[in-house]
A and B are shown apart, each in its own frame.
Chain A
C-alpha cells in the first residue's frame, strides 16, 4: 500500500494513469489506494512533487 501527503499532492492523477494494478483512484480528497497495490513503487517514482511513499 502507499500513502500520499495531502500537503504535497496536487491531485493531478498521473499516478493513477501509471499504476499497473489499477489500485489507485483520484477524488477531491486526494489519492486512495486499494488492496490491489503490490508496492511496486511505480507511482512513488512518478510523482512530480514527491507526495507518495510506501506505507508498510
Chain B
C-alpha cells in the first residue's frame, strides 16, 4: 500500500509510458509512486496488440513467452482492388496480450523499487504558487495528498492530469484516429500473418487490421479519421466484416474503442516539476498508429531526466527541457518525418493506392514505417501531375 506522504516522482498511469518512466527513475534510486486509476493494469485495451521485434529492441527488453500470444512471420497489405503487397520474415514480432504485457512491465517497475498502486486515481493536481507540488489521490473511497518533486502524466490520450497541471495536450480532430475493434474467435484467418486493408471506402484516413492471436482468434479492428470518414468507426468495421465470409459468423470475445493520436507531436512536454509521456504526449507512430514502444521510450527518457533533475536539485521547466531535446533527437525527428508521409497517404484516392501497390514492395512499406526510403515513393508520385506537390512533402 501507499505508505508515504511524499515521493520524488509520482507517475499517473501504469501503461507502457508509466512503466518506462517508473523503471528508469527507480533504477536511479528515486522514490517512485506509479498509480493506475483502473482496477486492472493493461485493461481494457485500446490497442491491436501488435509488437514488432524492432519495437521490443527499441525498448531494450527481452522476449518473454508469458505475454506472446502468437509469433508473426509476415504482413499482407491490401490495396482497395484486393491486390496485396507481402512482407515475409522469420520472426517479425508478436501479437501480445496487453493485460499481461502491461502488468509484466509494471512488475519490472515494482522490482526496480517503484511503488505501484492500481485502482488509485489522481483526482487533482496540487500546486504551490501556481507550480505543481503533488497530487490528491483517491482510492476505494479514501482521498489523501501526496507531495512530489516531479509529476509525470502517462494517463493516455485524454490526459486529464496534464490538463490539471496546465499543459495543453488537446489534439486537432484530424490528428486523432477513431479506433474500434473486436477480438474475434471462430474465424478463418491466416494465423501467422498480419493483414492490413486500405481504401477510402473501407477505412478513410486509416485502415482495417487483422492481428492473429491464435489459429482461429484475432483482433479485427479499424481506425478512421475525420474529415474523411462519413460513418462511425464501428459502422465501417461492421460493414467490412459483413463482406468477409471467414469473419462474419465469428464470435466476439471483447469490444474495444479508443482514440489514437497520429500527429500533434509536441515541441514542449514539460512544465515546472512536470512532464507528460506516452499517448498523453502523442508518442505514437503517425503512419500505423502503433504506440507501445514509443510510449515506453518516451516514459524512459522522462524518467531518466527526472533522476538527473532531482540529483542536481533543479526540477524547473528549464532543466526538464532536456526531456524535450532528448526525445526529439531520439524519436521526434523520425516521427515528424513519418507524419509528413501520413499527410501524403491520406490524400491518395483508391485508384492511386491501387497503382502504388503495383510498384511498391513489402520491404518498401516497412521502410516507410521507419521513416526510411521516402525517395522511392517520391519518385513514383512525381509521375502523376496531381501528385507532384505531395511528392515534394517527402523530399
Question: Of B44, B233, B259, which contacts A15 at CB under 8 A?
Answer: B259
Residues from chain A with Cβ under 8 Å of B156 in the complex:
13, 17
What residue in chain B is nearest A8 (Cβ atoms)?
B234
Question: Of B173, B226, B256, which contacts A12 at CB under 8 A?
Answer: B256
A residues neighboring B (CB under 8 Å): 10, 12-20, 22, 25-26, 42, 45-50
Interface centre among A15, A25, A45, A46 (most CB of B within 10 A): A46
B235 x A50 contact (CB < 8 A): yes
A17 x B234 contact (CB < 8 A): no
When chains A and B are docked, how far (Å) is the Cα of A13 from the Cα of B234? 16
B180 x A48 contact (CB < 8 A): yes
B176 x A48 contact (CB < 8 A): no
Assign chain B's interface to a size class. 20 to 34
Question: Of A10, A16, A20, A47, which contacts B158 at CB under 8 A?
Answer: A16
> How near does chain A come to B394, taking the closest CB pair, in angstroms?
27
A17 x B169 contact (CB < 8 A): yes
B226 x A48 contact (CB < 8 A): no
Say yes or no: A26-B234 contact (C-beta < 8 A), given A12-B258, A18-B171, A47-B178. no
29 pairs from A and B in contact (CB 8 Å cutoff) = A10-B255, A10-B257, A12-B46, A12-B259, A13-B259, A14-B157, A14-B176, A14-B179, A14-B257, A14-B258, A16-B158, A17-B157, A17-B159, A18-B170, A18-B172, A18-B176, A19-B170, A25-B160, A26-B160, A46-B173, A46-B226, A48-B178, A48-B179, A48-B233, A48-B257, A49-B180, A49-B233, A49-B257, A50-B234
B255 x A48 contact (CB < 8 A): no
> How near does chain B come to A7, taking the closest CB pair, in angstroms?
13
Beyond the given A17-B171, A18-B170, A46-B176, could you list 17 further A-B residue pairs with CB under 8 A, ordered by the A residue number?
A12-B256, A12-B257, A13-B156, A13-B158, A14-B157, A14-B257, A14-B259, A17-B159, A17-B170, A17-B279, A18-B176, A25-B160, A46-B226, A48-B180, A48-B232, A49-B232, A50-B235
CB-contacts of B233-261 with A (<8 A): 233-235, 255-259, 261
CB-contacts of B146-195 with A (<8 A): 156-160, 163, 169-173, 176, 178-180
> How near does chain A come to B138, taking the closest CB pair, in angstroms?
11
Residues from chain B with Cβ under 8 Å of A49 in the complex:
180, 232-234, 257
> How near does chain B come to A36, taking the closest CB pair, in angstroms?
12
> How near does chain B come to A54, taking the closest CB pair, in angstroms?
16
When chains A and B are docked, how far (Å) is the Cα of A50 from the Cα of B231? 9
Residues from chain A with Cβ under 8 Å of B171 in the complex:
17-18
A17 x B232 contact (CB < 8 A): no
B232 x A18 contact (CB < 8 A): no
A17 x B176 contact (CB < 8 A): yes
CB-contacts of B109-163 with A (<8 A): 156-160, 163
Residues from chain A with Cβ under 8 Å of B44 in the complex:
10
Residues from chain A with Cβ under 8 Å of B257 in the complex:
10, 12, 14, 48-49
CB-contacts of B306-329 with A (<8 A): none
> How near does chain B come to A18, taking the closest CB pair, in angstroms?
5
> How near does chain A come to B155, taking the closest CB pair, in angstroms?
9
When chains A and B are docked, how far (Å) is the Cα of A46 from the Cα of B258? 10
Chain B, 38-76, contact with A by CB distance < 8 Å: what is the 0/1 string? 000000101000000000000000000000000000000
Residues from chain B with Cβ under 8 Å of A19 in the complex:
170
When chains A and B are docked, how far (Å) is the Cα of A17 from the Cα of B282? 10
When chains A and B are docked, how far (Å) is the Cα of A20 from the Cα of B173? 9
When chains A and B are docked, how far (Å) is the Cα of A25 from the Cα of B163? 11
What residue in chain A is nearest B256 (Cβ atoms)?
A10
When chains A and B are docked, how far (Å) is the Cα of A16 from the Cα of B157? 8
A22 x B157 contact (CB < 8 A): no
B259 x A18 contact (CB < 8 A): yes
Question: Of A14, A16, A25, which contacts B178 at CB under 8 A?
Answer: A14
